[in-house]
Amino acid sequence: MNKGPPLEARAPVLVVDDEPLVRILTVQVLEEAGFRVEEAGNSEEALSRLDGHQIAALVTDIDMPGSLDGCELAWRVRALCPAAAILVISGVAVPRPGRYVNAVLVPLSYALLS
């Protein structure tokens, strides 16, 4: 069964996190899994990387400095890249109830990753 083009031929995954160590780890894990990855340190940088480009997926932190948090970035990316998978993560922040429709919110403890 063909599930589409090989990972290296697909649009990249965009990782957005203002914490450099978290971003580096996330990028490393995705690259080791065979994904092409681009990274940004905040929402504004992420949107500039999207200018005219498609992504396969967005992985973004919720709580970031700047004019847009990760939740608002996810809404923008959904409008620009409707086929992209979106994963919003956080070690501390919890989105306001009702902010996402058809979303599954899964708490993540970084202690589980160590």
Summarised one tens digit per residue, pLDDT across range 7-25 is: 555 789 999 999 999 999 9
For each of the domains in the chain, give its residue range(s) and CATH number, in order of start.
8-93+100-109 (3.40.50.2300)
What kind and span of H or E run contains 59?
A: strand 57-61
User: pLDDT tens digits, residue range 23-50?
Assistant: 999 999 999 999 999 999 999 999 999 9
| pLDDT for position 68 | 92
The pLDDT of 86-104, averaged and rounded, is 67
Alpha helices in 8-69 (DSSP H): 20-32, 43-50
pTM of the model: 0.79
Residue 64 confidence (pLDDT) above 90 = no
**Residues contacting residue 42 through CB under 8 Å, at least 6 positions apart:** 16, 18, 64, 65, 66
**Residue whose token pair is 């990249």:** 12
